[in-house]
Amino acid sequence: MIRIDIATLFPEMCEAVLSASIIGRARKAGKVEIHCHNIRDYSPDPKHHRVDDTPYGGGKGMVMQPEPIYRCYLDIIRQSQSLPHVVYLSPQGQVFNEQKALAFREYPHLLLLCGHYEGVDERVLERIVDEEISIGDYVLTGGELGAMVITDAVARLCDGVLADASCYEEESHMNGLLEYPQYTRPEVWDGRQVPQVLLSGHHANITRWRTEQSLDRTAKKRPDMMKKYRQQHPKG
Ligand code: SAM
């Protein structure tokens, strides 16, 4: 079972998200192990629990100090008795995608480090971080939303979290294409009929229709993905 630790100044933000819905149930059922740690608990300043200071060289904002983060990292190793693959959430990182989620699923232990304010003292990043990941080319106030995105995307790929592997294998991005359209009851809504082929019970025709739809909507919605797909599947 994968273990994911999240080091943050706002663990309550992460707990709220990770206690709900599918991931919350998977945690309760012991399918994934997720722990949120408050970096402030590791401040060497017992009185004010300080974790940040002004940047050397001047400039606006505050920078997270190295020592509380390093202590938090060491405590996670002590608690888990394992060395995590450490990911720093950063707008400067490689952009996260489904392939990255699949790669992260293979690590037995991930530690997601969330920055805040102006960021984190570079020296602790050099000391503990294995890779930097961004969730998109924009700047957020903190790494927590990114850590939630990664945790959700990785956890749903783990055994027993969804009903079975087919639940994620046919989804958008798994094979370089977007998924076909989905319909449920009623058969007619707002004068719009569910495509007849889906009511036919003819599995081969349904599969063919879904493949065509998938190719068609990828070409329309994401021509960039379609171009890549065509390069990888010249005859498909
Ligand atoms: N000064 C930093 C820079 O310009 O590269 C940005 C710091 S940002 C305001 C504060 C924190 O939010 C970062 O340390 C990082 O953890 C997180 N963050 C911001 N944008 C992000 C993104 N696109 N992906 C992942 N994390 C992000």
Delimit the domains of the chain by residue range: 3-155, 170-232
Residue with tokens 């003292």: 121
Residue 181: cis peptide before it, omega within 30 degrees of 0: no
Q: Which tokens hold the place of 58?
A: 């001047």
- Global pTM reads 0.96
Q: Which tokens hold the place of 63?
A: 């920078």
Q: How far apart are CA 137 and CA 144, in angstroms?
A: 16
Q: Which CATH architecture has domain 3-155?
A: 3-Layer(aba) Sandwich (3.40)
Q: How far apart are CA 20 and CA 38, in angstroms?
A: 20
Closest of 176, 159, 188, 187 to residue 227, by C-alpha: 176
List Cβ neighbours of 95 (8 Å cut-off, separation of 6 or more).
Answer: 133, 134, 135, 136, 137
Q: How far apart are CA 213 and CA 129, in angstroms?
A: 42
Q: What's the pLDDT at 171?
A: 86
The alpha carbon of 115 and the centre of ligand 1 are apart by a number of angstroms equal to 7
Q: Which tokens hold the place of 26?
A: 């998977």
Best probe residue, ligand 1, of 140, 148, 149, 150 (max atoms within 8 Å of C-beta): 140
Q: What's the pLDDT at 236?
A: 66
Q: Does domain 170-232 have CATH number 1.10.1270.20?
A: yes
The alpha carbon of 144 and the centre of ligand 1 are apart by a number of angstroms equal to 10
* pLDDT tens digit sequence for 43-77: 999 999 999 999 999 999 999 999 999 999 999 99
* pLDDT tens digit sequence for 8-28: 999 999 999 999 999 999 999
* pLDDT tens digit sequence for 189-207: 999 999 999 999 999 999 9
